[in-house]
Amino acid sequence: MIIGLTGKNGSGKGEVARFLKERGFEYLSLSDVVREEVKKHKKPLTRDNLVLQGNELRKKFGADVLAKRILDRIEIDRNYVIDSIRHPSEVKALKSRNGFVLLNVTAPSRVRFGRLKKRKRESDPKTFQEFLKLERWEGKSGVGSDQQLNQAIKLADYTVNNDGTLEEFRDEVTRVVMTIAQKKKRPNWDEYFLGIAKVVALRSNCVKRKVASVIVKDKRIISTGYNGTPRGVKNCNEGGCPRCNQLASSGTKLEECLCSHGEENAITQSAYHGVNIKDSTLYTTYSPCLLCTKMIINSGIREVVFNIDYPLGETSMKLLEEAGVVVRKVKVE
């Protein structure tokens, strides 16, 4: 889960962030990106300087710059709470990441002003009129790259009211988080194993193309393989394969290629370690070539699931069909 926080000053976004941090969420804030810039320019960390610096960054690099910099810090295996989202372009950028939802925290203006007075920050407005003036400034601007908090709030997926007790507020946050968790879609088995195959492909040192396969039986990985030169031979990216190092055009000089394919290596690795792959499923990032197709058929693999079509794979598809091997294409980004 990636839960973004938006809302007006004093609404309780910080309390939501603390609550979720205590429950294992990693904390990120778009304001931290702005603070880093303010410090870089050796300016005082006042609210006015933060707003002005944020507007300057958006003007210079695009309205979604803060969100993009935060996205670079997100790991796919963690839950996050992201604070200080104040522009619709930031929301749109963050929503491009799977699992992101925007939570709007709200409370009456008098209640929010009272909270600001209690926290006694030097940069906070001293009167209710100053508070409302600041709110109007932060909420809407004629300059598109400036803060547009009101528009960001309209894009919220959920709203939590914070006008009661702290316990009531936390109960409501818990209810919303559990609703989000129950709606979150996890990868199905095909997406799961193809995703693993794509990670395995990162081990490939082939200059031309990174390809990998995983062989699965009873929803358990029993062998993996990625393309590259044979065991004990100089790696492809170190000059081990003459064809790849000449950057030969696709489909040419195949007789000079010393690299074994991902499917080939997954099958031979199972033989090397004495693992039975009969009636298994092979997940591969590309559909198999003709050589790998023959190995798949003769090794007893009953199903092939692939992500992207191999350019020279038409004959392979026909041969797999004739041999009774089930073939499915599943697109995984």
Contact assessment for residue 240 and residue 210, using Cβ atoms and an 8 Å cutoff: no
* Total-model pTM: 0.76
d(CA 93, CA 102): 12
Catalytic residue of the set 122, 263, 264, 322: 263
Percentages of the chain per state (helix, strand, coil), in multiples of 5: 45, 15, 40
- 172 has catalytic annotation: no
d(CA 167, CA 160): 13
pLDDT in tens, the chain (333 residues): 999 999 998 899 999 999 999 999 999 999 899 899 899 888 888 878 888 888 889 889 998 999 999 999 999 889 999 998 989 999 999 999 988 999 999 999 999 888 888 887 777 778 888 888 878 877 777 676 677 889 999 999 999 999 999 999 999 999 999 999 998 888 999 999 999 999 999 999 988 889 999 999 999 999 999 999 999 999 988 898 888 888 887 777 877 888 999 999 999 999 999 999 999 999 999 999 999 999 999 999 999 999 999 877 789 999 999 999 999 999 997
Q: Which residue has the tokens 């600041």?
A: 134
Closest CA to 194 of 319, 99, 313, 328: 328
Contact assessment for residue 30 and residue 67, using Cβ atoms and an 8 Å cutoff: yes
